[in-house]
Amino acid sequence: MGYTDQRFNVNLSILFTELPLLERPAAAAAAGFTAVELWWPWIETPTPDQSELDALKKALEDAGTQLVGLNFYAGQLPGPDRGALSVPGEESDRFRANIDVAADFAASVGCKALNALYGNRVDGVDPAAQDELALENLVVAARAADRIGAILLIEALNKPESPRYPLVSAPAAIEVVDKVNAATGLGNAKFLLDIYHLSMNGEDVSQVIEAYAAKTGHVQIADNPGRGAPGTGSLPLEELLDQLKKAGYGGWVGLEYKAGDRPSAESFDWLPAEARAAR
């Protein structure tokens, strides 16, 4: 058990960011990884030119890397935004415009998980109205994901770093998962269990795993404090991942941590080289 028994993938929106986007898949492959995930790479636009989508597809394929997770358009991320789908007006419209673009791109590279970040609360807007808009948009996103045989992920973030984001506990995210599944009847909405965020919220991660492993569609890790590589903080990540596995989770574990002052390629010394390729 432990780290050598997991299916890891590298998040190319937080690691290898010292390189241009199109060079990151090859860098991940050079470090021994064969699976990667991405936040929506074009933060300025939900609908990039087809040539940009094609270039990313080629970079992934040339490197021999499989994209296993992709965020829908989420506004300025990294930056002040935490998603667009519950933000009325232009941002919601941009999310809607992105749904089929993201789903079609995911289908073109065999990616089976799409993450929909909820979005921040907006001053002067009734939270209930935002939640209504969110459900409407998530239903459309879930149907688009289902069309390509993918799951829709709902993520809990952490309150200290995302004070305006409403889903800052596992139960809050699970409630949205259940609402989306009830509305669509598809059952393809799942929980994105990010151990770092849960830990930052002061949640008992072990209890969350026990309660919600069956509803979990993707896992992400970073150590806490610091959001660094495993071993840089105090989280028992190996034990928690073992617990997930024993609870029946057999999916991906995304490495969504900061490399710190060193090059990303040097931040993987906690994971034996032979355990990095997907299996």
Active site residues: 155, 256
User: What is the C-alpha to C-alpha distance for residues 266 and 209, in angstroms, rounded to an integer?
Assistant: 30
One-letter-per-residue 3-state SS of 51-109? HHHHHHHHHHHHHCCEEEEEECCCCCCCCCCCECCCCCCHHHHHHHHHHHHHHHHHHHH
User: What is the C-alpha to C-alpha distance for residues 87 and 165, in angstroms, rounded to an integer?
Assistant: 11
